[in-house]
Amino acid sequence: MKLFTASIALAMSAVATAYYTVSYDTVYDESYASVSTLACSSVLEAQGYTTFGTLPGFPFIGGSPQITGWGSPYCGSCWVISYTDPSTGTTTAKSITTIDVGDPALEGFNLSLEAMNYLTGGRAEQLGRINVQAWPC
């Protein structure tokens, strides 16, 4: 099963590297949570996914600002999110599968705690929201 489709590829071809924010929601860390609660549920269920743990790349999943409602063409899209720690200059990047509504008002991704901890070296809870760069995989 492949989440990334040709229609998503066409929609994303116009999206270049951009600046966003990232926050976290621990609901995305629960492998047993049902995909039926997500804005992308119809797309994911049609492809045979039932829980977060069955999704490719779990727990590196979350919401993106491009997904603004049910059945968005961006459901299942892959994004590379890159964080540069302002205190050290160290950059960390990770591919994320987007499965839910993000935070369009703040141009933000809302990821699993584990994903944000990966990007921040374990400081997600301390930082709360970070500035990142992101682009389609």
Q: Is residue 84 part of a domain?
A: yes
Q: Is residue 97 part of a domain?
A: yes
Rounded to an integer, what distance in angstroms lies between the CA atom of residue 53 and that of residue 33? 8
Q: What domain count does the chain have?
A: 1
Q: Is residue 3 part of a domain?
A: no
- Residue 78's domain comprises 15-136
**Residue 109 maps to which CATH number?**
2.40.40.10
Q: Is residue 7 part of a domain?
A: no
Rounded to an integer, what distance in angstroms lies between the CA atom of residue 49 and that of residue 61? 13
Instruction: Quote the tokens at residue 134.
Output: 């992101």
- 51-105, pLDDT tens digit by residue? 999 998 999 999 999 999 998 999 999 999 999 999 999 999 999 999 999 987 7
- 36-52, pLDDT tens digit by residue? 999 999 999 999 999 99
Answer for the pair 72, 40: CB distance below 8 angstroms, yes or no.
yes
Q: Is residue 101 part of a domain?
A: yes
Tally Cβ neighbours within 10 Å of residue 6. 7
